[in-house]
Each structure stands twice: as C-alpha cells, then as structure tokens.
C-alpha cells in the first residue's frame, strides 16, 4: 500500500489512484460545487471531488452544460478547494474552453490549477483532444479524459443516449481510451456506455476508469451530488441511486419555518437577545414595551 493510502489523510495523488486500480480498491468520485458540500464529502472519504460542468444543470438552472463558463468553474472550484483537504480537486473544462486551440486549452487548464486551486482538470473527447491532453500533461497538468456520452456534444449526439452499443462504436471508444492513456491522461470517465464495454476499456488500459452509468466493471464510480442526495428535480436517470431524500427534508424544514414565522412561534426567547433589566425598564418607560419581541439582533450575529 502506498504511503498516501496508508496515512489516510494525505492528499490523494494520481499515483495513489493508479495504485488503487492495481490493488483492486474502488475509487469514489462525487461532484461538488461549494465549500460546505466539499467539506462533508472530503470528510466522508471521497477520493476525488469534481467541479463538473453539471454545475450548469444542477446549480445554475440551465437546460444543459453548454452555458457554463471558465469563470463559473473557477468560482466554484475555489470554494471546493477551500473545503477539500484530502480529496483530489478536479475542475471540469467547460464547453469552448479547450475546443478552439491547443494554446487556449493549455491557458485555461492552467487557470484552474493556478487561480482556482484544482489539482487536475477533466475534458471530454478522445482522439480529437489528444493534442490538448499531451500539451497539458507535458506542462505538468494532470488530466482526466471523458468518453461515451459527452454532454457538451448533446446536440451532435441528438440527446443524452447510451453510447458504444455496437461493436464498431465500442471499438472506437476503446481506441480513444488507449489514445488518452498514451497522451498522458491519468484516468478516464466513462459515461453511459454498456457495462460490457466499460469492463473491456478497464481491462485494456492501465489507468483507472471511473464510471457513471457504465456498470460495476470500472475502477471507480462518480455521481452528481444532487442526484445521490435527492436534490434533483424532474427525471432521475436509470444509473442514479438516490441515497438520501434531502429535497424532501429541506422542503419540510422550510415549510415548518415558514409556518412558525407566520404564527409567531419563531423566534422563541432562546433565539433572542436581552437587555439588562434596568435598561429594559427604562426603554419600556420611554416606548411602552414595543412589540412582543424582546430584542433586536442582526441575523448576522452568531
């Protein structure tokens, strides 16, 4: 077992992830977009926190990921990086941040490490992005590839469909995975591909595969935090397992609070501040006691 894995709380490195593959230890990756979530997921033991461009769907309310910008990912990566002590922080390169040119791709990837505090970047595509991956890894930027369903190509793919269902399409994905490994990628996300194909890719390359909708034959798994915590509205994809119903819990808590505000039950005395009795008596003398509440107090005081 590597020093990193033994000591447990040291930062997860690309070498540690590769060792996990060798030893058959599964890698847990989860998306995160803010500081409190990053802290919770880091302490829960996730090896990788991904600031996915799914940010667009689950946090910013867009229909797809295409509107997410470099600045959006930098802003949210900074927050996640402040909350993650052990997990590797990976910034997802958004649409048009790496497609235009190799130089632009390198410049943007560098910003995620230098300004935002990520330890690695992820980008979508196979042979078509190999020159980007080579340049980034050559510059010391660890890269995760992303094959199968690549959401930034949703319009070209004609929707969010399972990819690699024919043996020819599957072979292309295996070839792409080999190209990415050769170009220096340290891991590959496989999204929405048949489990047989994901297992074949996992066998064909020596870097870890991380699946989402790709079955149990990958070296690790990734889910969007809003999906696994029941915070996503609308259709839940087949590959998602909902581990908690935080959406209902939040809705119940907010409804309870609203009812208590309207009934006057909240805030109670224990949530309020008081004045010394003599000062209170003098104030009552001046103003006749005022409203039922006994003290003002800014909501910012803690």
Indicate which single residue of 13, 14, 54, 152 sits in contact with ligand KIV (rule: CB under 6 A). 54
Chain residues 159-198 in contact with ligand KIV, contact rule CB under 6 A: 189, 191
Indicate which single residue of 37, 47, 52, 112 sits in contact with ligand KIV (rule: CB under 6 A). 52
Should residue 53 be labelled a site residue for ligand KIV when binding is judged by CB under 6 A?
yes
Per-residue x/- mask for ligand KIV, residues 85 to 124, rule CB under 6 A?
Answer: -------x--------------------------------
Q: What is the 3-state secondary structure (H, E, C) of the chain?
A: CCHHHHHCCCCCCHHHHHHHHHHCCCEEEEECCCHHHHHHHHHHCCCEEEECCCHHHHCCCCCCCCCCCHHHHHHHHHHHHHHCCCCEEEEECCCCCCCCCHHHHHHHHHHHHHCCCCCEEECCECHHHHHHHHHHHHCCCCEEEEEECCHHHHHHHCCCCCCCCCHHHHHHHHHHHHHHHHHCCCEEEEECCCHHHHHHHHHHCCCCEEEECCCCCCCEEEECHHHHCCCCCCCCCCCCCCCCCHHHHHHHHHHHHHHHHHHCCCCCHHHCCCCCHHHHHHHHHHHCCCCCCCCCCCCCCC
Q: From the candidates 115, 182, 191, 270, give the one annotated as an active-site residue.
A: 191
In this chain, which residue has its C-beta nearest to ligand KIV? 52
Per-residue x/- mask for ligand KIV, residues 8 to 37, rule CB under 6 A?
Answer: -----------------------x------
Chain residues 206-245 in contact with ligand KIV, contact rule CB under 6 A: 212, 222, 224
Should residue 72 be labelled a site residue for ligand KIV when binding is judged by CB under 6 A?
no
Is residue 181 annotated as part of the catalytic site, yes or no?
no
Per-residue x/- mask for ligand KIV, residues 125 to 164, rule CB under 6 A?
Answer: ----------------------------------------
Positions annotated as catalytic residues are 191
Residue ranges that bind ligand KIV, judged by CB under 6 A = 31, 50, 52-54, 92, 189, 191, 212, 222, 224
């Amino acid at each position: 077992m590597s020093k990193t894995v033994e000591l447990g709380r040291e930062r997860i490195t690309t070498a540690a992830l590769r060792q996990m593959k060798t030893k058959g230890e599964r890698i847990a990756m989860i998306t995160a977009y803010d500081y409190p979530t990053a802290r919770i997921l880091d302490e829960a033991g996730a090896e990788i926190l991904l600031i996915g461009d799914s940010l667009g769907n689950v946090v910013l309310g867009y229909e797809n990921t295409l509107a997410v910008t470099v600045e959006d990912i930098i802003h949210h990566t900074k927050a996640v990086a402040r909350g993650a002590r052990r997990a590797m922080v990976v910034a997802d390169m958004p649409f048009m941040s790496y497609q235009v040119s190799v130089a632009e791709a390198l410049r943007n990837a560098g910003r995620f490490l230098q300004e935002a505090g990520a330890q690695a970047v992820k980008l979508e595509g196979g042979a078509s992005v190999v020159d980007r991956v080579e340049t980034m890894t050559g510059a010391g930027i660890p890269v995760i590839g992303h094959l199968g369903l690549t959401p930034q190509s949703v319009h070209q793919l004609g929707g969010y469909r399972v990819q690699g269902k024919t043996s020819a399409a599957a072979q292309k994905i295996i070839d792409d995975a080999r190209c990415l490994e050769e170009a220096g990628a340290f891991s590959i996300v496989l999204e929405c591909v048949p489990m047989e194909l994901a297992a074949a890719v996992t066998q064909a390359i020596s870097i870890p595969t991380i699946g989402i909708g790709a079955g149990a034959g990958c070296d690790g798994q990734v889910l969007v935090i809003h999906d696994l915590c029941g915070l996503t509205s609308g259709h839940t994809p087949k590959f998602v397992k909902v581990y908690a119903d935080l959406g209902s819990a939040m809705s119940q808590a907010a409804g309870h609070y609203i009812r208590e505000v309207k009934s006057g039950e909240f805030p109670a005395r224990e949530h309020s501040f008081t004045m010394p009795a003599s000062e209170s008596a003098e104030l009552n003398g001046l103003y006749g006691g005022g409203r039922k509440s006994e003290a003002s107090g800014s909501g910012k005081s803690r």
